[in-house]
Homo-oligomer: A and B are copies of this chain.
Amino acid sequence: MGKRVWNLNPGPAVLPEAVLEEASKAVLEYEGKGMSLMEMSHRAKEVDKIFKDTEADLKEIMGLGDDYSVVFMGGGASLQFTMIPMNFLHDDQTADYVNTGSWSQNAIKEAKLLGKVNVAASSEEREFTYIPKIFDLSPDPAYLHITTNNTIRGTQYHFDPDVKVPLIADMSSDILSMRRDFKKYSLIYAGAQKNLGPAGVTVIIIKKDMLERVKPGIPTLLSFKTQVEKESLFNTPPVFPTYVVGLVAKWIKSQGGLAAIEAGNRKKADLLYGCLDEYSDFYRAPVNKEDLSWMNVVFRLPSEDLEKKFLAEAGEKSLIGMKGHRSVGGVRASIYNAFPYAGVEELVSFMKAFAKKEAGIGV
């Protein structure tokens, strides 16, 4: 593998080098079978093993047992925005959502097309710079939906809500980045392209008792019942992207599981937020301290001109992908699981030099 840039893209995002090397080989030939994995039947025993192993590895990493199933589907998290109310929001019910930013809003918008929605909490009045801790649930909601990490504003749930209703979480941008009490969740979903693999597959972890709640008469493919019963093989699933998710799961295990991944992410976040603190006269992190995302570190500079200059000069140092989301501007450094500590060191040393050069701040 050639010289790599420091890829701070918000997603699709950096993947472990060992995963890329293995995946590259599988494109040519898989397990000495004389064909590419991309040419292999989705009903071949090799592919079956990929799906089964990946499910088992993910459940092991998350500490989940036989009461959960894992499903692999195309369509992205956005398809889940529709599938969740389509499956679980019955006509006489209300679904509760917590609004912590754009992705929550998209989930809410799609649910409203299909049924009644109650926004149980929102941080919109403070521009999504914090995570609400108190939820105003409706009397008997179909479920409560949260978005555990807001990639755009850089907030993250550092707790798992205690509720007596089925808890559903979009974990697209922070799944497997820290230990969580995954057993509290009835359904977890994540587009793979941040912490789990490439774009093209969504991982859905579903508690089996949820299947009893699935509405009858919905499209067969989009029923979680179908997906669980057919073990993701109702139709041809995205085999290659799922395979890469499997490699990432094995990589997480090889790193020491979630405890080790969490320690690594905390160390990276501490270093980067430490720099923002130290240089708070120059860099401004708009987010509530206790809700700071370990995945997406969002900050502003004194002016938009300086932000442009910052991004351009960072690019020259091979620190790429830090332009803030088009809806909010600013700078965003995405430091997902596979982003190396050495890259954060590089970034921090660049940030210090930049602050010194532009404003004479620091030593």
Contact = CB atoms under 8 A, between A and B. Distances in A.
A166 interface: no
Interface in A63-112: 73-79, 81-82, 109-110
B39 A9 contact: yes
Contacts of A20: 27-28, 36, 38-39
| Interface residue range, chain A | 35 or more
Contact of A25 (B24, B73, B235): B24
Given A12-B42, A35-B14, A38-B20, A235 B27 contact: no
- Copies of this protein in the assembly total 2
A169 to B, nearest CB: 18
A54 to B, nearest CB: 15
A338 to B, nearest CB: 9
Given A42-B12, A200-B74, A240-B241, A35 B219 contact: no
Contacts of A237: 76, 199-200
Given A76-B235, A219-B82, A239-B198, A12 B38 contact: yes
Interface string A234-245: 111111110010
A160 interface: no
A215 to B, nearest CB: 11
Contacts of A1: 28-29
A358 B24 CA distance: 43
Given A9-B39, A81-B221, A200-B201, 19 more contacts: A5-B33, A5-B34, A10-B41, A12-B41, A14-B35, A20-B39, A24-B27, A39-B198, A73-B75, A74-B76, A74-B79, A74-B200, A76-B236, A77-B235, A79-B221, A81-B219, A113-B220, A114-B219, A200-B241
15 contacts: A7-B35, A9-B39, A9-B41, A11-B236, A12-B239, A21-B28, A24-B28, A75-B75, A76-B221, A76-B235, A76-B237, A82-B221, A82-B222, A109-B220, A110-B220
